[in-house]
Every structure is written in structure tokens, then in C-alpha cells.
Amino acid sequence: MPLSMNRRYFLAGTAGLVAMHPFSASAAGNQAHLRLMETTDLHVHVFPYDYYADKPRDTVGLSRTASLIQGVRAESTNSLLLDNGDFLQGNPMGDYIAYERGMKEGDSHPVINAMNALGFDASTLGNHEFNYGVSFLMKSLGGADFPVVSANVVKEMGASATADTTLVKPYVIMERKITDGSGAKHPIKIGLIGFVPPQIMNWDRKHLEGNVQTRDIVATAKAYVPQMKEEGADLIIALCHSGIGGATAEDGMENAAIPLASVEGIDAILTGHSHLVFPSSKYADFAGVNTEAGTIGGKPGVMGGVWGSHMGLLDLLIERDGSSWRVLSHTAEARPISKRNEDRSYTALAEDYAPVLAAATKEHEETLNYVRTAVGKTDAPLHSYFALVADDPSVQIVSNAQTWYIKEQMVGTAYESLPVLSAAAPFKAGGRGGPEYYTDVPVGDVAIKNVSDLYLYPNTVRAVKVTGRQVKDWLERSAGMFNQVEPGAQDAPLLNPSFPSYNFDVMDGVNYQIDLSQPSKFDKDGAETNPDANRITNLMFNGDPLDMEKEFIVATNNYRASGGGSFPGAKGDTVVFEGPDTNRDIIVRYLVDQGTVNPKADANWSFAPLADTTVIFETGPAGAGYADSVEGVSIEPAGASDTGFAKFRIKL
């Protein structure tokens, strides 16, 4: 089947002339122009809609990306559309299908239906495909009109990777006809191989342990790529649901895109997982990448953002060399579906593609009904604008619900007499989500959409048994959120931009202060780099200094308890309770049980005073309305940033 004709409906109705890429215009008789279009990290965002805010949103949606894809296909002589994983989970539509409607054999999933309507040629699995369990995943994939590949998720390990029984096909080799510069058609075999971070075994241990295993990404590629070449693959494209990290391969790397691309025989790489864009200035200083050339590990590479925000596009000029093909030249870009204006608003750069919307309209309407259902009331506003600088109501309600649930579960067990603490982190706290990416629930009804907003991920509840010393180190690990501040400094930057907010655990049930003049005891990956550092001071339990040998139960989630974030006391070996319920479900139950809650933050943590010292941090502009009500810290406005965030100052 000719690549240019594999999705003919995209050409139908195209009005007027289309602009051809220079490769199409300049390709000689033995050369061809191949366009690779990528989506990645869709996270069920079919519609341009924010279910948490319950309003349309121009910055997301496969329906918008689809119109960019339609345009590129119309311009193309030869093209492939590929998805890079994390399509099955990530917004309330995904949760509605998983937890309310369910997936029976033969059922179709709305995001798969939308991808079918758009005519994807192939996809790989992302780590979030496993959040709802293997059975749900496989039933969902059953409706796909395209192959889904992943080489390093294994049902039965063999003596080597190529002898494994993989969960899905490790790779496919597509036999197509490609049109060269003279209009002649030639056979070509394009190999597609997929990879996922091996950390899924920690992140979704409950679903995966005993069902699958994982192999290292780079080692697996080195085993399979020669086999693909032996089977006749002219070009090999890596679908890498793994971010751009270190340039040197390390066993079990989560972000292995650079050493993967460097594997001999791989011709191009599509990457994702990090929710970022490549090429972009974000990666200007990374070893092993060239943002101007659009190369990763020396190979053409692209990363297409998140939630349909961009279409990744690799244009390859390939040349027939005897009976095989090689990449002669390339260009790389990530085309956005919207642009940000000076007044912080957004302008859509793409229209909806109707067939994609139609494929999920029914489930979209059902999801709206699902998220609008009230489950309780709150007497205090639930917002996360200051969750990284002070005790926070959006984190407080999660901690309250976890404590309530785990205390009940410990009754009648050997751990009944141990005090229960609760660890919770802010999920919506700006960062790469932008200046509007915050929880903001007013006083009054709390609906399911608000609970999803408070707790983004479908984690399940866990409890671990730890010592007081592990509690302290857990908090030391969390305190890596902050830069070290010199006493007497003025307007020093407070927040460490490389530290994700979901690793900033607040521990309820103890009181403590954070001394910013101290260095962080742990680096951003959890390695102990300053063993003598003591950022956590005045750590108290029930009014007394915390006993380092005393035992505690800590309520948390499966990600953290299984080693996610590499926290002391949470490496998978301290778990004493694995709940069948998601943390979101627990919040809903807590609200229903309490009726009306008042989750005002109790200010159990604060910064230790530093004389004549101020720090600056950024948050959403809407946070200004809450600044005066934050307990335990004095916050004042300090202007605006050039990225749409508002700046605030704290006097330590």
C-alpha cells in the first residue's frame, strides 16, 4: 500500500494548492521524502476540554492536533502517523471508562476510537497504560486498528531479549510502497520498535507484579535491532516513551532517549514521557543533543509536547542505496495547536477535526455528567497556589482523608497502636502545566471533578511502617524542593525548578520547620549527597521532640510506597497495607462521610526564620486573592514574570 494513499480521506475536500516541503521538491529519482508525524502523552485528551475546570481549552486535544496532521498529509508524498504512548490514562474521561463504565471484551475505548478515526499507523505503550491493570489495557488495545509495540515489557523472560514472550509485539516491520522524486514507486520496509521505562514495575507494582517483567531499554534495543535488520528493515524508528536524560547508558534508565538513539541501526527516534517539546531551548545545554539540528544521540528526533499540544514532525530525505534506503538529510519541529498572547490568553492555531470528535462524543457527554456530581461541601476554599511554600488546604484535605481511612484499616491489626501520619504532595502547582495549572475550588459543593483536581492520578492507597529517623529523612528528601539560601540574601530564588511538585511530600501528624540555609541532604533523584545536612529542624510529635526510634504508620500511595521518588522509608520493603481503593475514592468517601469539611491548613510546617532574608517564588496570578489568608508565613506581591506567572516575596 503506498504511504501517500494509506489514509485517503485526509486528502478529500482539501481546497486549493498545498505547500510542499523542500525535500519533496528536490528529491531526485533515487530519493524520497518521508514525513513522520508524532503524538505523545495524549492522556485521553481527545476533546479540547478541561474537565477539571469544566470548560473548553484551546491548548489541548487530539481533535486539534488532527487538523495539523490533515494538513501535513495533504502536503506529503509519503507519511506515517505514530503515537508514542500514555494515551489511556490522565483525565476524567479515562477514569470514567476505567472505574464507572468499565471495559468488557469487545468494548471500545474512546481514545482508541479517536485514534482509529485519525488513522494512526502504529503506537507504543507508555507507563500510564498500566495504571488500570493489564486486563483493562489489553481489552482497550483490542479495538485498535493499528499495531501497538513494546519490546521491553515481558510476560515470560527468555535467555535473551529476543527469546522473550512480550506483552505486545516488540516491533513491526511495515512493507510499503514509497514514491521517489521522479514519481516512481519502490518497496520499503520500515521497522517500528517501542520502549517504556522499566520503572513501571515500581509505579504499578500491584497491577504488574507476577504478570509482567521489564528489561533495560538500551540493552533490549541492542538485542532486537540487529534482528530487525536481518528481517529486512530498511529504516528503523524507535518509539521511545522515555525522556531525554543522560547521554551515557545506565542500567534501568528511566529517561534513556539519548543512548537509545545512539544504538547502531536506529535511524530516527520519537520521544516523550517528559511532557516537553523537542527541538526547543529546554534542551540547549544537554550533552548528546543538538536542538538546532534536531538530533538526539546523533539521530533525527522529536518530542511533541503533552495532551495534544503539539504535533511532532520529522521530515526525512531518504536515498536508495542499492537495494536499501538510508537517511540523507532531515528537519525536525514540533508544531503547536495554540499560541500564547501577551495578555496571557491563548489563540487557537488549529480547528477541530470532526471525525475525531465524533468518535468520542458519547463518552465526552457521559464524562461531563460524571465529573459534575456533587459528593460533599467544604467550608474553606481548596486551592494550591501556595502549596510549595506553606501548609496548604488542597494537600490538607488529602492528608485528612488518608489518615481517616488508614486509621480505620489499622483497627484489629498488629499496627493498631501505632500513630498514623499522612504524606501527601501537591499535584497541580504550576510548573510545566503553566500559570493556570492550580487547584481552585471555592467554598460550597465539592464535585467529583474537584476531587480529580485535588488528586490527579489514579493511585491506590498504601501504608508503610517507618521509624522516626525515616520520617525525618523522608522530610529531608521533600525539602529538596528548595534552593539553599544564604542568610541575609535579598529576593533569592526559592524553588528548585528541577524538583517536581509531586515529590514535595508534606507530612501531617508531626510539626517541623525547614532551614533553608542548609544544603539539601538528597539530590533531585534521591541520592544522599550531603549526609550531614539537617534542613528539618524542630521536628515534634505530640509536643515533644520526635523519637528517632519510635515506629509510625504513614498513609501514602502505591507510587510512593513502592519506591517512586526514592524516599527513605518508602522503597517497597516497608509496606504493611495495600488498599483496594484509589486515593481519589478515599477522598470521595471522606467527603460523603463528613458531609461538610473544613480542610483549612493547620500550619504544621513552616520555614525556619532567617534574619534580614527574603526569597522570591512564582505562582498563578489568581493566587493573589488568597495570599493574605495563608497561615504561618508572610507573603507579599513582587510583580509578574515574563512567562505569565505572578511573583511573590516571603520575609524569612
440 burial class (0-12, 13-18, 19+ CB within 10 angstroms)? buried
Q: What CA–CA distance (Å, rounded) separates 550 from 115?
A: 53
User: Which pLDDT does position 582 carry in this prediction?
Assistant: 81
Q: Which of 366, 390, 423 is the last residue of a domain?
A: 366
| Unique residue bearing C-alpha cell 513494546 | 150
Q: Which of 305, 338, 366 is the last residue of a domain?
A: 366
pLDDT at 193 over 50: yes
Residue 317 within a domain: yes
303 and 428 together in one domain: no
Q: What CA–CA distance (Å, rounded) separates 12 from 566?
A: 52
User: Which pLDDT does position 97 carry in this prediction?
Assistant: 95
541 and 392 together in one domain: yes
Residue 494 within a domain: no
321 and 378 together in one domain: no
What residues contact 379, with CB distance under 8 A and at least 6 apart?
443, 596, 597, 598
Residue 409 within a domain: yes
User: Which pLDDT does position 612 carry in this prediction?
Assistant: 95
Q: What CA–CA distance (Å, rounded) separates 405 from 302?
A: 44
Closest CA to 224 of 181, 195, 189: 195
327 and 409 together in one domain: no
Whole-angstrom Cα Rg for the chain: 25
The pLDDT tens digits for 274-306 are 889 999 999 999 999 999 999 999 999 999 999
Residue 263 within a domain: yes
474 and 348 together in one domain: no
Q: What CA–CA distance (Å, rounded) separates 136 from 224?
A: 28
333 and 454 together in one domain: no
Residue 97 within a domain: yes
Residue 461's pLDDT band (boundaries 50, 70, 90)?
very high
Higher-pLDDT residue of 137, 585: 137
User: Which pLDDT does position 188 carry in this prediction?
Assistant: 96
Closest CA to 30 of 158, 185, 204, 225: 185
- The three grid cell numbers given for residue 231, joined into one nine-digit string: 528481517
322 and 424 together in one domain: no
Under 8 Å between Cβ of 216 and 254 = no
User: Which pLDDT does position 631 carry in this prediction?
Assistant: 81
Residue 186 within a domain: yes
Q: Which of 366, 386, 408 is the last residue of a domain?
A: 366
How many residues can be counted in the chain? 652
Task: Find the CATH number of the domain harbouring 451.
Answer: 3.90.780.10
Strands 324-336 and 310-321: antiparallel
276 and 415 together in one domain: no
pLDDT at 18 over 80: no
The pLDDT tens digits for 54-70 are 899 999 999 999 999 99
Higher-pLDDT residue of 19, 614: 614
The pLDDT tens digits for 582-635 are 898 888 888 888 988 888 888 999 999 999 999 999 999 999 999 988 888 889
311 and 378 together in one domain: no
The structure's pTM equals 0.75
- Could you tell me the residue range of the domain that residue 69 belongs to? 33-366
Q: What CA–CA distance (Å, rounded) separates 452 from 375?
A: 12
Task: Find the CATH number of the domain harbouring 279.
Answer: 3.60.21.10
Q: What value does the mean pLDDT of the chain take?
A: 92
pLDDT at 14 over 50: no
- The three grid cell numbers given for residue 600, joined into one nine-digit string: 483549612
436 and 546 together in one domain: yes
317 and 426 together in one domain: no
89 and 222 together in one domain: yes
The CA angle 531-537-540, to the nearest 5 degrees, is 120
User: Which pLDDT does position 375 carry in this prediction?
Assistant: 83
* Range of lowest pLDDT (13-17, 371-375, 445-449, 502-506): 13-17
Using alpha carbons, list the distances in angstroms from residue 475 to 202, 420, 425. 21, 16, 12
E strand or H helix at 560? helix 558-561
Residue 318 within a domain: yes
3-state secondary structure labels for all residues of 39-103:
ECCCCCCCCCEECCCCEECCCCCHHHHHHHHHHHHHHCCEEEEEECCCCCCCCHHHHHHHHHHCC
Residue 276 within a domain: yes
User: Which pLDDT does position 8 carry in this prediction?
Assistant: 29
Q: Please give the tally of structural domains in the chain.
A: 2
* Range of lowest pLDDT (101-105, 121-125, 458-462, 516-520): 458-462
